[in-house]
Amino acid sequence: MQHFYFDHNATTPVAPEVLETVVSCLGQVYGNASSIHHFGQAAKQRLEAARRQVAALINASAAEIVFTSGGTEADNLAILGLTRASAAARKHVITCAIEHPAVLSPARQLGAEGVEITCLRVGSSGIVSPEDIRRALRPETVLVSIMHANNELGTLQPIAEMARIAHHAGAALHVDGVQALGKVPVDVQALGVDLYSMSGHKLYAPKGVGALYARKGTRLAPVAYGGHHERDRRPGTENVPGIAAFGAAAELAARLIAEDAERLAMLRDRLENAVLERIPGTGVNGSRWNRLPNTSNLYFDGIDGEAMVIALDLRGFAVSTGAACSSGALSPSHVLKAIGLSDERARASMRFSLGRTNTAEQVDALIEAILASVAHLRRISVHA
Protein backbone atom coordinates (compact mmCIF):
# COMPACT_ATOMS: atom_id res chain seq x y z
CA MET A 1 0.00 0.00 0.00
CA GLN A 2 1.20 3.49 -0.84
CA HIS A 3 1.53 5.99 1.98
CA PHE A 4 0.98 9.72 1.52
CA TYR A 5 2.37 12.39 3.82
CA PHE A 6 0.14 15.22 5.08
CA ASP A 7 2.11 16.17 8.21
CA HIS A 8 4.63 18.72 6.87
CA ASN A 9 4.31 21.03 9.91
CA ALA A 10 5.78 18.21 12.04
CA THR A 11 8.73 17.81 9.67
CA THR A 12 9.44 17.72 5.94
CA PRO A 13 11.21 15.20 3.71
CA VAL A 14 14.72 16.34 2.74
CA ALA A 15 14.60 17.89 -0.75
CA PRO A 16 16.74 16.06 -3.37
CA GLU A 17 18.94 19.15 -3.96
CA VAL A 18 19.45 19.48 -0.20
CA LEU A 19 20.31 15.80 0.20
CA GLU A 20 22.99 16.20 -2.47
CA THR A 21 24.53 19.05 -0.45
CA VAL A 22 24.57 17.00 2.80
CA VAL A 23 26.17 13.97 1.16
CA SER A 24 28.85 15.99 -0.65
CA CYS A 25 29.66 17.83 2.60
CA LEU A 26 29.82 14.67 4.72
CA GLY A 27 32.11 13.04 2.17
CA GLN A 28 34.41 15.90 1.24
CA VAL A 29 34.17 18.81 3.70
CA TYR A 30 35.27 17.12 6.90
CA GLY A 31 37.53 19.85 8.29
CA ASN A 32 36.71 21.78 11.46
CA ALA A 33 35.55 25.28 10.45
CA SER A 34 37.77 26.73 13.23
CA SER A 35 40.97 25.14 11.81
CA ILE A 36 43.27 27.38 9.76
CA HIS A 37 44.53 24.71 7.34
CA HIS A 38 43.11 23.91 3.89
CA PHE A 39 40.46 21.47 5.18
CA GLY A 40 39.31 23.85 7.89
CA GLN A 41 39.07 26.73 5.43
CA ALA A 42 36.97 24.62 3.03
CA ALA A 43 34.52 23.95 5.89
CA LYS A 44 34.53 27.64 6.87
CA GLN A 45 33.68 28.61 3.29
CA ARG A 46 30.67 26.26 3.24
CA LEU A 47 29.57 27.58 6.63
CA GLU A 48 29.74 31.22 5.54
CA ALA A 49 28.06 30.53 2.16
CA ALA A 50 25.13 28.95 4.04
CA ARG A 51 25.02 31.92 6.44
CA ARG A 52 24.60 34.23 3.42
CA GLN A 53 21.87 31.98 1.94
CA VAL A 54 19.83 31.93 5.17
CA ALA A 55 20.34 35.69 5.64
CA ALA A 56 19.17 36.35 2.06
CA LEU A 57 15.90 34.45 2.64
CA ILE A 58 14.93 36.83 5.48
CA ASN A 59 16.64 40.04 4.22
CA ALA A 60 19.23 40.09 7.01
CA SER A 61 22.99 40.51 6.96
CA ALA A 62 25.07 37.34 7.31
CA ALA A 63 26.67 38.57 10.57
CA GLU A 64 23.19 38.59 12.18
CA ILE A 65 22.70 34.81 11.71
CA VAL A 66 23.63 32.48 14.60
CA PHE A 67 23.47 28.77 13.73
CA THR A 68 21.91 26.49 16.37
CA SER A 69 20.78 22.87 16.68
CA GLY A 70 17.20 23.83 15.76
CA GLY A 71 14.22 26.03 16.56
CA THR A 72 14.04 25.07 20.23
CA GLU A 73 17.62 26.14 20.90
CA ALA A 74 17.09 29.34 18.89
CA ASP A 75 14.00 30.17 21.02
CA ASN A 76 15.90 29.48 24.25
CA LEU A 77 18.89 31.56 23.18
CA ALA A 78 16.60 34.45 22.22
CA ILE A 79 14.32 34.45 25.29
CA LEU A 80 16.80 33.50 28.02
CA GLY A 81 19.72 35.26 26.34
CA LEU A 82 18.07 38.64 25.87
CA THR A 83 16.24 38.71 29.21
CA ARG A 84 19.28 37.69 31.25
CA ALA A 85 21.49 40.18 29.38
CA SER A 86 19.20 43.06 30.44
CA ALA A 87 20.64 45.10 33.30
CA ALA A 88 17.18 46.15 34.55
CA ALA A 89 16.55 45.53 38.25
CA ARG A 90 12.99 44.34 37.55
CA LYS A 91 12.17 42.49 34.34
CA HIS A 92 8.89 41.63 32.64
CA VAL A 93 8.31 39.42 29.57
CA ILE A 94 5.12 39.12 27.48
CA THR A 95 4.14 36.03 25.48
CA CYS A 96 0.85 34.33 24.55
CA ALA A 97 -1.11 31.18 25.30
CA ILE A 98 -0.74 29.54 21.85
CA GLU A 99 3.07 29.60 21.71
CA HIS A 100 5.11 26.44 21.14
CA PRO A 101 6.53 24.75 24.29
CA ALA A 102 9.98 25.93 23.08
CA VAL A 103 8.81 29.46 24.01
CA LEU A 104 6.49 28.74 26.94
CA SER A 105 9.07 26.59 28.79
CA PRO A 106 11.94 29.15 28.76
CA ALA A 107 9.36 31.80 29.79
CA ARG A 108 8.41 29.57 32.74
CA GLN A 109 12.10 29.18 33.59
CA LEU A 110 12.48 32.98 33.66
CA GLY A 111 9.45 33.12 35.94
CA ALA A 112 11.25 30.76 38.32
CA GLU A 113 14.23 33.16 38.23
CA GLY A 114 12.05 36.07 39.37
CA VAL A 115 11.09 37.60 36.01
CA GLU A 116 7.43 38.60 35.77
CA ILE A 117 5.66 36.83 32.88
CA THR A 118 2.41 37.87 31.19
CA CYS A 119 0.82 35.18 29.02
CA LEU A 120 -1.82 36.82 26.81
CA ARG A 121 -5.11 35.12 26.04
CA VAL A 122 -6.03 34.58 22.39
CA GLY A 123 -9.52 34.73 20.85
CA SER A 124 -11.19 32.09 18.69
CA SER A 125 -9.46 33.43 15.55
CA GLY A 126 -6.09 32.27 16.92
CA ILE A 127 -4.70 35.76 16.31
CA VAL A 128 -3.13 37.80 19.10
CA SER A 129 -4.48 41.34 19.42
CA PRO A 130 -1.72 43.99 19.16
CA GLU A 131 -3.87 46.09 21.50
CA ASP A 132 -3.56 43.38 24.15
CA ILE A 133 0.21 43.69 23.87
CA ARG A 134 -0.01 47.47 24.19
CA ARG A 135 -2.11 47.10 27.36
CA ALA A 136 0.24 44.49 28.86
CA LEU A 137 3.41 46.57 28.39
CA ARG A 138 5.05 48.04 31.51
CA PRO A 139 8.11 50.25 32.03
CA GLU A 140 10.05 47.11 33.08
CA THR A 141 9.04 45.03 29.98
CA VAL A 142 12.27 43.85 28.31
CA LEU A 143 10.88 41.36 25.77
CA VAL A 144 7.74 40.45 23.84
CA SER A 145 7.82 36.94 22.30
CA ILE A 146 5.06 36.10 19.78
CA MET A 147 5.17 33.42 17.08
CA HIS A 148 4.88 34.32 13.38
CA ALA A 149 2.69 31.34 12.41
CA ASN A 150 0.99 28.88 14.71
CA ASN A 151 2.10 25.26 14.20
CA GLU A 152 -1.39 23.79 14.76
CA LEU A 153 -3.74 26.38 13.25
CA GLY A 154 -1.44 28.03 10.70
CA THR A 155 -2.69 31.48 11.82
CA LEU A 156 -0.34 34.38 11.08
CA GLN A 157 0.22 37.16 13.61
CA PRO A 158 0.45 40.90 12.77
CA ILE A 159 4.17 41.00 13.59
CA ALA A 160 5.09 44.40 12.08
CA GLU A 161 2.42 46.15 14.17
CA MET A 162 3.53 44.28 17.30
CA ALA A 163 7.16 45.32 16.66
CA ARG A 164 6.16 48.99 16.46
CA ILE A 165 4.18 48.74 19.72
CA ALA A 166 6.98 46.89 21.56
CA HIS A 167 9.71 49.26 20.35
CA HIS A 168 7.66 52.34 21.24
CA ALA A 169 7.68 51.04 24.83
CA GLY A 170 11.41 50.24 24.73
CA ALA A 171 10.96 46.44 24.61
CA ALA A 172 12.54 44.00 22.13
CA LEU A 173 10.46 41.63 19.98
CA HIS A 174 11.35 37.96 19.54
CA VAL A 175 9.45 35.96 16.93
CA ASP A 176 9.37 32.16 16.69
CA GLY A 177 9.37 31.91 12.89
CA VAL A 178 9.84 28.14 12.69
CA GLN A 179 6.52 27.45 10.92
CA ALA A 180 6.50 30.58 8.74
CA LEU A 181 9.95 30.36 7.16
CA GLY A 182 9.76 28.99 3.63
CA LYS A 183 5.93 29.12 3.56
CA VAL A 184 5.36 32.89 3.56
CA PRO A 185 7.80 35.69 2.68
CA VAL A 186 9.84 36.78 5.71
CA ASP A 187 11.60 40.17 5.70
CA VAL A 188 13.04 40.91 9.14
CA GLN A 189 13.64 44.55 8.19
CA ALA A 190 10.03 45.15 7.13
CA LEU A 191 8.72 43.18 10.13
CA GLY A 192 10.98 45.13 12.49
CA VAL A 193 11.84 42.13 14.68
CA ASP A 194 14.92 42.00 16.93
CA LEU A 195 15.17 38.19 17.11
CA TYR A 196 13.73 35.56 14.74
CA SER A 197 14.00 31.78 15.31
CA MET A 198 14.27 29.30 12.42
CA SER A 199 14.51 25.53 11.91
CA GLY A 200 15.91 23.60 8.95
CA HIS A 201 13.69 20.52 9.09
CA LYS A 202 10.50 22.54 8.51
CA LEU A 203 11.71 23.60 5.06
CA TYR A 204 13.11 20.42 3.50
CA ALA A 205 16.51 20.38 5.28
CA PRO A 206 17.57 17.70 7.81
CA LYS A 207 16.73 17.76 11.51
CA GLY A 208 19.27 19.08 14.00
CA VAL A 209 20.02 22.48 12.46
CA GLY A 210 18.42 25.88 12.95
CA ALA A 211 19.32 29.53 13.29
CA LEU A 212 18.56 32.66 15.23
CA TYR A 213 18.49 36.04 13.54
CA ALA A 214 19.79 38.57 16.10
CA ARG A 215 19.57 42.17 14.92
CA LYS A 216 22.95 43.93 15.04
CA GLY A 217 23.48 45.37 18.50
CA THR A 218 21.11 42.96 20.29
CA ARG A 219 22.80 41.72 23.46
CA LEU A 220 22.43 38.04 24.37
CA ALA A 221 23.75 36.35 27.51
CA PRO A 222 25.10 32.86 26.69
CA VAL A 223 22.90 29.85 27.49
CA ALA A 224 25.79 27.42 26.89
CA TYR A 225 29.49 27.89 27.62
CA GLY A 226 32.51 26.84 25.57
CA GLY A 227 34.60 28.19 22.70
CA HIS A 228 34.21 31.40 20.68
CA HIS A 229 32.13 29.99 17.82
CA GLU A 230 29.33 31.96 16.12
CA ARG A 231 30.80 35.31 17.25
CA ASP A 232 30.68 34.22 20.89
CA ARG A 233 26.93 33.63 20.75
CA ARG A 234 26.79 29.84 20.51
CA PRO A 235 29.73 27.61 21.44
CA GLY A 236 30.45 24.24 19.84
CA THR A 237 31.94 22.96 16.58
CA GLU A 238 29.49 23.86 13.84
CA ASN A 239 27.46 21.15 12.12
CA VAL A 240 28.76 22.04 8.65
CA PRO A 241 26.81 19.42 6.60
CA GLY A 242 23.55 20.36 8.37
CA ILE A 243 24.22 24.09 8.04
CA ALA A 244 25.15 23.76 4.35
CA ALA A 245 21.90 21.80 3.84
CA PHE A 246 19.92 24.53 5.62
CA GLY A 247 21.54 27.08 3.29
CA ALA A 248 20.61 25.03 0.21
CA ALA A 249 17.02 24.66 1.50
CA ALA A 250 16.81 28.42 2.14
CA GLU A 251 17.93 29.15 -1.42
CA LEU A 252 15.39 26.65 -2.77
CA ALA A 253 12.62 28.22 -0.64
CA ALA A 254 13.47 31.70 -1.93
CA ARG A 255 12.99 30.41 -5.47
CA LEU A 256 9.81 28.37 -4.91
CA ILE A 257 7.91 30.25 -2.18
CA ALA A 258 5.31 32.02 -4.35
CA GLU A 259 4.67 28.97 -6.55
CA ASP A 260 4.43 26.62 -3.53
CA ALA A 261 2.07 28.95 -1.66
CA GLU A 262 -0.36 29.30 -4.55
CA ARG A 263 -0.48 25.57 -5.29
CA LEU A 264 -0.75 24.46 -1.65
CA ALA A 265 -3.47 27.00 -0.80
CA MET A 266 -5.55 25.58 -3.70
CA LEU A 267 -5.03 22.02 -2.47
CA ARG A 268 -5.81 22.98 1.13
CA ASP A 269 -9.04 24.72 0.07
CA ARG A 270 -9.99 21.72 -2.05
CA LEU A 271 -9.59 19.49 1.02
CA GLU A 272 -11.43 21.83 3.39
CA ASN A 273 -14.34 22.58 1.09
CA ALA A 274 -14.94 18.89 0.42
CA VAL A 275 -14.87 18.01 4.13
CA LEU A 276 -17.16 20.91 5.11
CA GLU A 277 -19.64 20.16 2.29
CA ARG A 278 -19.72 16.38 2.61
CA ILE A 279 -19.36 15.69 6.34
CA PRO A 280 -21.80 17.17 8.87
CA GLY A 281 -20.48 18.29 12.27
CA THR A 282 -17.18 19.65 10.92
CA GLY A 283 -15.54 23.06 10.87
CA VAL A 284 -12.27 24.99 10.68
CA ASN A 285 -10.45 25.90 13.90
CA GLY A 286 -9.03 29.44 13.93
CA SER A 287 -9.16 32.06 11.20
CA ARG A 288 -9.59 30.85 7.61
CA TRP A 289 -8.01 34.02 6.27
CA ASN A 290 -4.78 35.09 8.00
CA ARG A 291 -2.97 31.78 7.90
CA LEU A 292 -0.31 29.69 6.20
CA PRO A 293 -1.21 28.43 2.73
CA ASN A 294 -0.52 24.79 3.63
CA THR A 295 -2.28 24.30 6.99
CA SER A 296 -5.81 23.22 7.88
CA ASN A 297 -7.06 22.37 11.37
CA LEU A 298 -10.52 20.77 11.27
CA TYR A 299 -12.82 19.36 13.92
CA PHE A 300 -14.98 16.26 13.44
CA ASP A 301 -17.61 16.25 16.18
CA GLY A 302 -18.14 12.93 17.93
CA ILE A 303 -14.79 11.48 16.89
CA ASP A 304 -11.60 10.87 18.84
CA GLY A 305 -8.68 12.50 16.98
CA GLU A 306 -6.17 9.81 17.95
CA ALA A 307 -8.49 7.11 16.58
CA MET A 308 -8.84 9.13 13.39
CA VAL A 309 -5.04 9.42 13.00
CA ILE A 310 -4.79 5.63 13.29
CA ALA A 311 -7.73 5.02 10.91
CA LEU A 312 -6.18 7.30 8.27
CA ASP A 313 -2.73 5.78 8.77
CA LEU A 314 -4.21 2.32 8.12
CA ARG A 315 -5.61 3.73 4.87
CA GLY A 316 -2.18 5.13 3.91
CA PHE A 317 -2.38 8.79 5.02
CA ALA A 318 -0.15 10.46 7.62
CA VAL A 319 -1.87 13.32 9.47
CA SER A 320 -1.74 14.53 13.08
CA THR A 321 -3.89 15.76 15.93
CA GLY A 322 -1.59 18.74 16.53
CA ALA A 323 1.98 19.38 17.54
CA ALA A 324 4.28 16.39 17.04
CA CYS A 325 6.34 17.34 20.09
CA SER A 326 3.36 16.85 22.39
CA SER A 327 1.94 13.72 20.77
CA GLY A 328 1.62 10.96 23.28
CA ALA A 329 0.10 13.53 25.64
CA LEU A 330 -3.43 12.54 26.60
CA SER A 331 -4.51 16.07 27.46
CA PRO A 332 -6.07 18.05 24.58
CA SER A 333 -3.97 20.57 22.64
CA HIS A 334 -3.14 23.69 24.69
CA VAL A 335 -3.52 25.74 21.49
CA LEU A 336 -7.07 24.55 20.79
CA LYS A 337 -8.01 25.00 24.45
CA ALA A 338 -6.55 28.53 24.39
CA ILE A 339 -8.79 29.58 21.47
CA GLY A 340 -11.86 28.42 23.39
CA LEU A 341 -12.54 24.85 22.23
CA SER A 342 -14.07 22.39 24.68
CA ASP A 343 -11.97 19.36 25.65
CA GLU A 344 -14.26 17.21 23.53
CA ARG A 345 -13.97 19.33 20.38
CA ALA A 346 -10.21 19.81 20.88
CA ARG A 347 -9.83 16.00 21.04
CA ALA A 348 -11.94 15.70 17.87
CA SER A 349 -9.62 17.99 15.87
CA MET A 350 -7.05 17.09 13.21
CA ARG A 351 -4.24 18.98 11.53
CA PHE A 352 -3.54 18.51 7.83
CA SER A 353 -0.32 20.19 6.66
CA LEU A 354 0.56 19.98 2.98
CA GLY A 355 3.91 20.17 1.24
CA ARG A 356 5.74 20.03 -2.09
CA THR A 357 5.19 16.31 -2.65
CA ASN A 358 1.38 16.48 -2.35
CA THR A 359 -0.79 16.41 -5.47
CA ALA A 360 -4.48 16.99 -6.26
CA GLU A 361 -4.89 13.21 -6.73
CA GLN A 362 -3.50 12.59 -3.23
CA VAL A 363 -5.85 15.22 -1.77
CA ASP A 364 -8.86 13.60 -3.47
CA ALA A 365 -7.80 10.19 -2.16
CA LEU A 366 -7.39 11.70 1.34
CA ILE A 367 -10.92 13.16 1.15
CA GLU A 368 -12.36 9.70 0.40
CA ALA A 369 -10.31 8.18 3.24
CA ILE A 370 -11.59 10.85 5.65
CA LEU A 371 -15.22 10.18 4.60
CA ALA A 372 -14.79 6.44 5.14
CA SER A 373 -12.95 6.87 8.46
CA VAL A 374 -15.48 9.35 9.87
CA ALA A 375 -18.43 7.14 8.87
CA HIS A 376 -16.78 4.11 10.47
CA LEU A 377 -15.73 5.88 13.70
CA ARG A 378 -19.10 7.58 14.16
CA ARG A 379 -20.87 4.26 13.58
CA ILE A 380 -18.84 2.41 16.22
CA SER A 381 -19.12 5.27 18.74
CA VAL A 382 -22.93 5.11 18.48
CA HIS A 383 -22.84 1.36 19.22
CA ALA A 384 -20.23 1.67 21.99
* Residue 69, Cβ density class (10 Å: 0-12 exposed, 13-18 middle, ≥19 buried): middle
Give the model confidence (pLDDT) of 245-260 as tens digits: 999 999 999 999 999 9
Domains and CATH numbers, the chain: 4-12+257-383 (3.90.1150.10), 16-252 (3.40.640.10)
Task: Report the pLDDT value the prediction gives residue 384, as an integer from 0 to 100.
Answer: 57
Task: Report the pLDDT value the prediction gives residue 381, as an integer from 0 to 100.
Answer: 77
Rounded to 5 degrees, what are φ and ψ at 141?
-70, 120
User: Distance between the two ends of the chain, CA-based, in angstroms?
Assistant: 30
**Per-residue pLDDT at 323 exceeds 60:** no
Task: Concatenate the DSSP letters of all residues of 336-347 into one string.
Answer: HHHTT--HHHHH
Strands in the chain per DSSP E: 4-5, 65-68, 92-96, 116-120, 141-145, 172-176, 195-199, 210-214, 282-284, 295-300, 317-318, 349-353
Give the model confidence (pLDDT) of 66-107 as tens digits: 999 999 999 999 999 999 999 999 999 999 999 999 999 999
Task: Report the pLDDT value the prediction gives residue 271, as an integer from 0 to 100.
Answer: 98
Rounded to 5 degrees, what are φ and ψ at 192?
80, 20
119 catalytic, yes or no? no
